[in-house]
Amino acid sequence: MGRLIRALTRNRAWTDPESPDRRLRGRAYAVPFTEVWRAALETARAQRGWTLTETDARGGEIVAEARTALWKFVDDVSIRVWLDDAGATRVDLTSASRVGRADLGTNARRIARFLHALDRRVLPRAGRGETAKASSSR
């Protein structure tokens, strides 16, 4: 029920370690920053309907515009790749609709699809013993 209410009342989604929606908890990888950055950039470029508008490897920021399939609305996506105090490489996202009051869950699904695709790119590089974990801090 919580997802439905959020889908009908929000036009923005973001990763948060405390999110009740497990899909929106971000990622922490035991993989070097440069590998995760490269994988995040490749994953963003491969997303259907996305146009990258800004990338900053030093700052770990990727900014994109995502066009919805049906109505062709343009939404804003921001991806942050960063190192936490423990040395894990973390990935957090925000996806926001430019128009409307509710996104019907589009932004949350977009984030979940990106993170799933990123896991597929990063985890084979990390080896069989490594796993991605939901972020536990921002």
The contacts of residue 93 (CB under 8 Å, 6+ apart) are: 14, 15, 26, 77, 78, 79, 80, 111, 114, 115
- Domain locations in the chain as residue ranges: 2-126
Only one residue has tokens 């009342």, namely 9
From CA 76, how far away is CA 104, in angstroms rounded? Answer: 16
Pick among 3.30.310.80, 2.60.40.1180, 3.30.365.10, 2.40.50.180: CATH of 2-126:
3.30.310.80
Could you tell me the pTM of the whole model?
A: 0.84
- Residue 128 exposed, middle or buried by CB count within 10 Å (0-12, 13-18, 19+): exposed
- Residue 107 exposed, middle or buried by CB count within 10 Å (0-12, 13-18, 19+): buried
pLDDT tens, N- to C-terminus, the chain (138 residues)? 566 665 566 789 999 999 989 999 999 999 999 999 999 999 999 999 999 999 999 999 999 999 988 888 899 999 999 999 999 999 999 999 998 878 888 999 999 999 999 999 999 755 544 556 665 444
